[in-house]
Structure 1
């Protein structure tokens, strides 16, 4: 009986000591490494056009999310910002696909206002995250003009 109590006591000490060092290690990691939130910088819309301001991009990003939603109807979604006279739309051009553990979708985008552009690109999002434009270029018709 006494032997069993000694083994139990040693096991309890080992477990409690291990737990303490684990907590200290986690706290140390949090202080040294910043946590990633998955949010985009406010100037991320500049990939569509350097003429988009922060509010234009906020509105465009919301439309992009609705348009590319794999559970949605896959139709064109428009946005506008009366304050800057910018407006645009996103239209999915292909079915959703998985790449690097992210849901991706190709799209066409039209911008008008002080800047006009017709674009095509690909956006992806991690599970539960926001859409991130991975590549964008002028449509072939605009590139020739």
Structure 2
């Protein structure tokens, strides 16, 4: 039979093994109570809760901060689920850049976020540029662009 200690004489080794087993089991089980994020091992918590990217994705990289502030305000109004699909105009008088944001579908839930697809136009410096994308938000937060890419009008 297995024994943790080999003693000679009248000492009972079973009396030592019982308390040591309890101590060993308690040390092992203490690890179960450690609270630590396991994101790097199992993927981040944001991936599982449907978080919105932290970066501020704009329609294009050439937009100034002032242009983006105007376009973002139009995005917030245009993506509102109460908007039946009307285009929301924006403009920056200082730069002469202007545009439209138009939702192209009803809002839907994806990964615990409310999302809505849109098309947008930007003009004022050169020809009008068109974009298509998706914007999402958590309940009660602002809409953020999740993805956007150039869009070409269909040729008839």
Same fold (TM over 0.5): yes
Tell me if the contact between 2:130 and 2:152 (Cα under 8 Å) persists in the aligned partners. no
Q: Which residue of 2 aligns with 1:68?
A: 79
Q: Which residue of 2 aligns with 1:125?
A: 137
> Does the C-alpha gap of structure 1 residues 73 and 141 become closer, same or farther in structure 2, counting only changes over 3 Å?
closer
TM-score (norm 1): 0.64
TM-score (norm 2): 0.60
Q: Which runs of 5+ in 1 are unaligned?
A: 1-37
Q: Runs in 1 of length 4+ with deviation above 6 angstroms? A: none
RMSD: 2.2
The structure in which a higher percent of residues are helix is: 1
* CA deviation map 1:58-81 (0-9, x unaligned): 111110010110022321000000
Q: Which residue of 2 aligns with 1:31?
A: none
Query: Is the counterpart of residue 83 in structure 1 residue 88 in structure 2?
Result: no
Partner Cα separation in structure 2 for residue 72 and residue 109 of structure 1: 15
**Shift, 1:114, TM fit:** 1.5
Q: What is the SS of the residue equivalent to 1:141?
A: coil
Count of aligned pairs: 103
